């Protein structure tokens, strides 16, 4: 498998008012890999994740400088619409947040609005395909009209993943997707991520070191708004260069 550079972050800085939340971040994400971002609470890893699909712009008084280049185009260029960015760079959140609609509508809502599909058989196929990709189809195929909120937490999270891949993005951002779930649901989501890696580039923020070690190909360690260390997950976990990384990974702080 050829691993191209999918996302290139160059000198990214971000301020919330006077708070310098991200300091000069430089990073590269390769296609069809899982990159884990780890670090203590408040280190800016979620902020960084949100700046990759411009979700940070929803917060008042946030200011970004630097470049995030996806497929040779800086997504912060003036001629790039953030809505188009978010369609190609999907996001899964910490708390499962299905729309208060039926399971079917949860998946089909955005594709219909984007004009990817129209109501009817075509849409049914897309819903089925997306739910199969998120390994939820067998559990919900007989109750597609029931509200998405009637599912269990783990199922809801997989529904959110199905909703994300229904608009066929290139990149999926995951913000601690399993921290609200029990170990069995977590295990399902993790194996799903390894499956999704074949088609998508995945960037995941996690607090769980074992999880990062289990599923990611690359790991970036953040602390106090800075990117401290980045490398292959094995290297970072077994043989970190930086003292701070080692301290955090071995549980001495954070």
Partner 1 sequence: MKNNTNPFYDVSLRNRHAKTKRFKLFTYSSLIFSLAFLLFFIVDIGIKAFPALKQTYVYIDVTYNEKSMRSSRAAIDRKYKKIVSRAYLREIPKHIKQNPYLLNTTVKKWVLADDQVDQYLKGHYSKLKSKDKIFVDELVKSNLLKLQFNRTFFTNGDSKVPEFAGILSSIIGTILTLIITMLFAFPIGVMAAIYLEEFSKDNLLTQIVEININNLVAIPSILFGLLGLAIFINSFGLPRSSALVGGLTLALMTLPIIIVSSRAALRSVPNSIREAGFAVGLTKVQVITGHVLPLAFPGIMTGSIIGLAQALGETAPLIIIGMIAFIPDSPTSVLDATTVLPAQIFTWAGMPERAYIEKTAAAIIVLLGILVLLNSTAIYLRKRYEVKW
Residue 79 binding partner 1, by CB under 8 A: no
Shortest reach from residue 24's CB to partner 1, in Å = 26
Residue 19 binding partner 1, by CB under 8 A: no
Residue 177 binding partner 1, by CB under 8 A: no
Residue 93 binding partner 1, by CB under 8 A: yes
DSSP state of 254: -
Q: Is 168 helix (H, G, I), strand (E, B) or coil?
A: coil
Q: How far apart are the first and last CA of the chain?
A: 36
Contact 45, 35 (CB under 8 A): no
CA 58 from chain center: how many Å? Answer: 17
Residue 154 binding partner 1, by CB under 8 A: no
Contact 66, 9 (CB under 8 A): yes
Nearer to partner 1, 94 or 208 (CB): 94
Nearer to partner 1, 192 or 249 (CB): 192
Helices (H) and strands (E) in the chain, counts: 10, 10
The binder of partner 1 chosen from 110, 180, 209, 213 (CB under 8 A)? 110
Contact 163, 195 (CB under 8 A): no
Residue 97 binding partner 1, by CB under 8 A: yes
The binder of partner 1 chosen from 1, 58, 121, 184 (CB under 8 A)? 58
Residue 90 binding partner 1, by CB under 8 A: yes
Which run of H or of E encompasses 219? strand 218-223
Q: Which span (88-96, 123-131, 203-211, 237-245) binds partner 1, by CB under 8 A?
A: 88-96
The binder of partner 1 chosen from 1, 83, 121, 184 (CB under 8 A)? 83
The binder of partner 1 chosen from 167, 181, 189, 205 (CB under 8 A)? 167
Residue 143 binding partner 1, by CB under 8 A: no
Contact 171, 9 (CB under 8 A): no
**Longest CA pairwise span in the chain (Å):** 57
Nearer to partner 1, 50 or 244 (CB): 50
Residue 64 binding partner 1, by CB under 8 A: no
CA 225 from chain center: how many Å? Answer: 19
- The Cα-based distances of 8 to 13, 31, 65 in angstroms read 14, 11, 14
| Neighbour count for residue 18 (Cβ, 10 Å) | 6
Residue 225 binding partner 1, by CB under 8 A: no
Q: Which residues bind partner 1 (CB under 8 A)?
A: 53, 55, 58, 60, 83-88, 90-93, 95, 97-100, 109-110, 113-114, 149, 160, 163-164, 166-167
């Amino acid at each position: 498998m050829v691993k191209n550079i999918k996302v290139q972050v160059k000198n990214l800085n971000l301020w919330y008012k006077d708070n310098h939340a991200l300091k000069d971040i430089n990073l590269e994400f390769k296609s069809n890999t899982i990159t884990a971002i780890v670090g203590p609470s408040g280190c800016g890893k979620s902020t960084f994740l949100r700046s990759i699909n411009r979700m940070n712009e929803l917060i008042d008084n946030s200011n970004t400088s630097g470049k995030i280049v996806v497929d040779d185009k800086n997504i912060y260029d003036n001629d790039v619409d953030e809505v188009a960015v978010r369609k190609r760079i999907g996001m899964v959140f910490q708390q499962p947040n299905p729309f208060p609609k039926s399971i079917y509508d949860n998946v089909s809502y955005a594709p219909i609005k984007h004009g990817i599909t129209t109501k009817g058989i075509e849409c049914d196929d897309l819903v089925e395909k997306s739910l199969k990709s998120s390994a939820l189809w067998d559990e919900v195929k007989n109750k597609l009209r029931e509200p998405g909120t009637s599912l269990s937490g783990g199922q809801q999270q997989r529904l959110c993943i199905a909703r994300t891949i229904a608009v066929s993005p290139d990149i999926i951002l995951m913000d601690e997707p399993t921290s609200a779930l029990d170990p069995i649901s977590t295990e399902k989501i993790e194996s799903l991520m390894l499956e999704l890696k074949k088609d998508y580039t995945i960037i995941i923020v996690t607090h769980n070191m074992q999880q990062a070690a289990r599923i990611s190909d690359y790991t970036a360690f953040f602390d106090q708004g800075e990117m401290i260390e980045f490398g292959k997950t094995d290297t970072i976990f077994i043989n970190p260069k930086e003292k701070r990384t080692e301290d955090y990974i071995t549980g001495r702080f954070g």
